[in-house]
A and B are shown apart, each in its own frame.
Chain A
């Protein structure tokens, strides 16, 4: 029985991937797994899925720093003997990368990109990364202060897309709307922000897994069918698209990426394909990949354990996911334990 720890238990309207990864791991062929949840908030829905997570611990926010995270994980490890940890949030990854050797010394293995790989696909450097590796990225300008906006707008034209460093984006059509959005996003995510050329087209995603030597092991293309008001996929379908798979292969080769990733793409009516973002972790819809025959979380587990993993075969095309708003019921004591004692 392997013990696997996961973050990203926030299965909300802007979900983390933890619950989907847990679901895929429970179906890992030939494996018995015990799952431990790692959460940042006491109301993350995954905490209230006791059939999935044998135990859940609160973690300090990433802003508390790597030392606080290591201290907490040392406490958890003394109780849980975690074999593999799978981080599912962008904002925590730098800490886990920094702590990789320390956690390995505690017996916790991970499969992560390197710090350089993580930095290379950062939203701030994506355009540069695209240019260096002939990957199509829309024109993007970094905004370090409100005064940077007019020049960016002049270069990119209206409307344009303003993005927070980690999360959130808004499409704005006028200078007044842009200034207001800029302040809203900066208040939530800090500076710098990004201004990106606005493109219209079909939104497509690829969930990928690569082993760090330039080889792509799996790529599952998905078309979003319905979106939330935050632009998150609420339903999607696996598709067959050689261009998307080839793009994922080019990314894995160019970056020698190690671990899971998600390409967020847009195809214009003229057929041009652009990479809007590269996320350095599993997407929230990753269970669809498992349902389509590519159980990437199970494969990541094998890679983290040092076992060889062969590239997956064809994706089952035409598989849909439809997210479901489902009310979990819990006793107040469950909440009190996680909120008051930090574990349940």
Chain B
């Protein structure tokens, strides 16, 4: 479920979709996930990396990741 190639992200966590003109502000963790998606990591790999780095129950992370991916989909930021 990769990020669309033309999506622009900045170090400060801003996301711009040039096809729709929409801009978004991502918090640091969301920006980290976006960077991993942009680098081509799949969701399982991202989940594993986050579990390793953060003190979070697996089911909570899964829930938050699902929610985040749903948001990215609804904002038309992911490849179909």
Contact = CB atoms under 8 A, between A and B. Distances in A.
A318 B20 contact: no
Contacts of A239: 18-21
B8 interface: yes
A241 B19 contact: yes
A236 B8 CA distance: 18
Nearest to A222: B21
Q: Is the interface of A mostly helix, strand, loop or mixed?
A: strand
Contacts of B21: 223, 225, 236-239, 318
Contacts of B20: 202, 223, 239
Q: Is the interface of B mostly helix, strand, loop or mixed?
A: loop
Interface residues of B, number: 7
Contact-residue size bin, chain A (C-beta under 8 Å from the other chain): 10 to 19
Interface in A196-242: 202, 223, 225, 236-241
A225 B6 CA distance: 20
A12 to B, nearest CB: 25
A303 interface: no
A237 B17 CA distance: 11
Nearest to A238: B21
A239 B76 CA distance: 14
Contacts of A238: 21
A317 interface: yes
Interface in B58-73: none
Contacts of B6: 240
Contacts of A241: 19
Nearest to A267: B20
Interface string A237-277: 11111000000000000000000000000000000000000
A297 B16 CA distance: 29
Contacts of B8: 318
A240 B8 CA distance: 12
Residue among B6, B8, B21 having the largest count of chain A Cβ atoms under 10 Å: B21
Contacts of A318: 8, 16, 18, 21
B36 to A, nearest CB: 23
A234 to B, nearest CB: 15
Nearest to A223: B21
Contacts of B16: 318
Interface of B: 6, 8, 16, 18-21
Given A237-B21, A318-B8, 18 more contacts: A202-B20, A223-B20, A223-B21, A225-B21, A236-B21, A238-B21, A239-B18, A239-B19, A239-B20, A239-B21, A240-B6, A240-B18, A240-B19, A241-B19, A317-B18, A318-B16, A318-B18, A318-B21
Query: What 7 pairs between A and B have smallest CB-CB spacing?
Result: A223-B21, A237-B21, A317-B18, A240-B18, A239-B21, A240-B19, A318-B16
